[in-house]
Every structure is written in structure tokens, then in C-alpha cells.
Structure 1
Amino acid sequence: MPKDFSVGDRVEFKKTHPCGGKNWKILRVGMDFKAKCETCERVIMLSRNKFEKSVKKKL
């Protein structure tokens, strides 16, 4: 069951980023997701499957 995400949404991941942040802003949605850490501004790309497994909740 795919979850509903859109560009600009803020999400919390299950695991913390090495910088200590858990909150991410979604920059791109599709087969791949691009997200930016709100603490250190690092941008990552994840496949849809990996992204949906990593998200704890929508903020």
C-alpha cells in the first residue's frame, strides 16, 4: 500500500542521520525520492521502497 507524499512535506525517519537530525524535507517524489536533512542541509536520494520503509511519521 503506497503512502501519500508530496514535495515540501516534512518527515521523520526511524534512524538518526550522523549529524543527529531526524527531520527531512522532501524535494522530489517519484520512483526515487530526494530529501534534505533539516539539520545539516545534506541532500540524499532513496528509492521509493527504501524511503517508505525509513519514514516513521509525517510531520
Structure 2
Amino acid sequence: MDINVGDVLKLKKQHPCGSREWEVLRVGADFRLKCLGCGHQIMIARKLLEKNVKEIVEKA
């Protein structure tokens, strides 16, 4: 899966704030994502993220 910094991803499960869209801030073995609803940032393993991505909404 081709995911780059600045892409906006829509995930299968929503964040507790209600948003499903996340911005990619860092790419590597782990990804740093920022919730576009509330601004919360998380680190998530590549394997887990690739399983949970529904679509790439916006390419950087």
C-alpha cells in the first residue's frame, strides 16, 4: 500500500470523537496519525494500519 506523509486516510473504525479521517504525519515501520476531528495523535504499526485502512481520501 502506497501511503505518504500528508495523505488523509479513512479507517474502518471511528475514533471516539466520531471522526474516521486521519492525516499521516510520519511514515516508517510505524505511522504517526493525527485525527482530523479532535487533533489527537497516535502511533500505529504498519501492519495494523494497512489492515484497517478503508480508503485514501486525499493524496498529498
* TM-score, L = length of structure 2: 0.93
Q: Aligned-residue CA RMSD in angstroms?
A: 0.4
- Extract unaligned runs of 5+ from structure 2: none
- Equivalent residue number for residue 53 of structure 2: 55
Which of the numbers 17, 25, 28 marks the counterpart of 1:27?
Answer: 25
Query: Residues 2-25 of structure 1, C-alpha deviation per residue, up to 9 Å, x if partnerless?
Result: x00000000000001000000000
Tell me how far 1:54 sits from its aligned partner.
Answer: 1.1
- Extract unaligned runs of 5+ from structure 1: none
Task: Report sequence identity in percent.
Answer: 47
Q: How many residues of Structure 1 are paired with residues of Structure 2 in the alignment? A: 57
* TM-score, L = length of structure 1: 0.94
**Structure with greater contact order relative to length (CA < 8 Å, sep ≥ 6):** 2
After TM superposition, what 4+ stretches of structure 1 lie above 3 angstroms from structure 2?
Answer: none
